[in-house]
Amino acid sequence: MKRSLTTIFLLACYSFAQAESAELRIEVVQLYSEKVGKRPFSEVGFFELRRGDAKFEGATCPDTSNKEGKLTCKLVCSAKDRDAIRLKVIPPRPQIAKGYTVPPADEVTITGCKLLPDTKQFVYSDSRKLLVEILQETPSLADISQKEGDFVVKPFTVNTAPKLVELSKQPASLQKLDRIRVYMGDLAIQSQGDGNSEAAKRYAEYSYGASNAILHKVYGNLGSGSQQILTTGSKADFYKNLGTIKVELDKKPNKSEQDLGLSSTVTTLRTSPSSHVPNVSLIEFAK
């Protein structure tokens, strides 16, 4: 007996309604002030889930985050499936807030209909405002920026390096130094994307300068003094410093867990150089 179109349609709707699904809850927040902290970021979209380089067709996400900065993506799944599928969650560039640093992609794994983790937070940072805030509360760095309509930094000079090295000596200021590394690096990438190569060069020099100052402290912690570490704003010197630390670590016959962790991080940085700025923190080895 042939089924009517109405019957087929109803069966299709029933099957769709019975389809299993998993939910990925996404929290979108913005950080524009260290003092204020994070707050919900609404109207950010579209989030996308990919399997490898291709869009994962079994996932649907709302257009944008709601007033609480939240959204829920649904993934079609089968509880009988035993294969683990790794998915990348790709955060969008917010159209309403140019200048925010887009957070990196993150990963989730779905096995059957079990999603791990089932909640992800993405933090959009206003690197320019965060950097200005840090510089304002750090008197020794007050003269590295200037106000000409918009915030810009002065060229990195031989007088800048000692100021950054000084920040590496205390835990609180070391944290500031690492944030300077991050925010200067973010602004270098943003400026390059905007076609402002001169600003990108300046920001990158400060990011490398902060990184080299941190390496100065790391090398000193190895008990070998710090004279061999170059504290410039040079990318080339950053990689020379990594090589110097690697040589020093290789000399140690008995390496601690800290040494092994440092060696692994240094190897990662040396073999995966960033196109603009160092993107791995080393402050845990500088404390």
Reduce the DSSP state of residue 269 to 3 states and report it.
helix
The closest alpha carbon to 219, from 165, 170, 183, belongs to: 165
45 and 159 belong to one structural domain? no
At 186 the pLDDT is 87
Are residues 114 and 138 both part of a single domain?
no
Work out the average pLDDT over 144-156: 72
- Cβ-contact 54, 84 below 8 angstroms: no
Question: Residue 61 domain-assigned?
Answer: yes
63 and 142 both lie in a single domain: no
| pLDDT for 15 beyond 80 | no
Q: What is the pLDDT of residues 92-101, one digit of tens each?
A: 876 666 678 8
Give yes or no for residue 279 having a pLDDT over 90: no
The answer on 213 and 116 residing in a single domain is no
User: Does residue 14 carry a pLDDT above 90?
Assistant: no
Tens digit of pLDDT for each residue in 188-203?
888 888 888 998 999 9
Whether residue 266 is found in the same domain as residue 173: yes
d(CA 128, CA 145): 12
- Residue after which a domain boundary falls, among 95, 125, 155: 125
Nearest to 47 by CA among 130, 131, 103: 103
Strands (E), 126-195: 145-148, 150-153
Are 117 and 133 within one domain?
Answer: no
Q: Are the C-beta atoms of 93 and 102 separated by less than 8 Å?
A: yes
Burial of 45 (0-12, 13-18, 19+ CB in 10 A): middle
Average pLDDT over residues 216-241: 89
Taking the C-alpha atoms of residue 11 and residue 17, their distance in angstroms, rounded to an integer, is 10
Q: Are residues 256 and 180 in the same domain?
A: yes
Question: What is the rounded average pLDDT of the residues 68-76?
Answer: 96
Domain carrying residue 198: 127-285
What is the percent of the chain where pLDDT is above 90?
53
Of 125, 141, 166, the domain-final residue: 125
Domain count across the chain: 2
Residue 189 lies in a domain: yes
Average pLDDT over residues 255-267: 92
The alpha carbon of residue 197 and the mean position of all alpha carbons in its chain are separated, in whole angstroms, by: 22
- Regarding whether 163 and 81 lie in a shared domain, the answer is no
**DSSP assignments along 84-132, one per residue:** EEEEEEEPPPPTTSTTPBPPPPEEEEEETTEEESSEEEEEEE-HHHHHH
Who wins on pLDDT, 89 or 33?
Answer: 89
The answer, yes or no, to whether residue 115 has pLDDT greater than 70, is: yes
Give the predicted TM-score (pTM) of the model. Answer: 0.74
pLDDT of residue 8: 47
Residue 265 shares a structural domain with residue 171: yes
* Per-residue pLDDT band at 50 (split at 50, 70, 90): very high
Pairing mode of beta strands 20-31, 119-125: parallel
Residue that wins the pLDDT comparison between 27 and 142: 27
What average pLDDT score do residues 102-115 get? 93
Determine, yes or no, domain membership for 194.
yes
pLDDT of residue 273: 65
* pLDDT over 80 at 62, yes or no: yes
> Given this model, what pLDDT does residue 225 score?
66
Mean pLDDT of 44-57: 93
> What is the Cα–Cα distance from 77 to 47, expressed in whole angstroms?
19
Residue 221 lies in a domain: yes
User: Is 280 a member of any domain?
Assistant: yes
CATH code assigned at 116: 2.60.40.10
pLDDT at 32: 83
- pLDDT, residue 241, reads 95
Say yes or no: 186 and 272 in one domain: yes
Residue 80's CB: how many other CB atoms inside 10 A? 8
Whether 2 is covered by a domain: the verdict is no
In a shared domain, residues 134 and 113: no
Q: Is residue 11 part of a domain?
A: no
At residue 159, does pLDDT exceed 60? yes
Residue 14, domain member (yes or no): no
Among 125, 159, 184, give the residue marking a domain's end: 125
pLDDT for 135 equals 87
Looking at the fold, whether 131 and 121 belong to one and the same domain comes out as no
Q: Please, are residues 112 and 79 in contact by the beta-carbon 8 Å criterion?
A: yes
Compute the average pLDDT of residues 35-58: 91
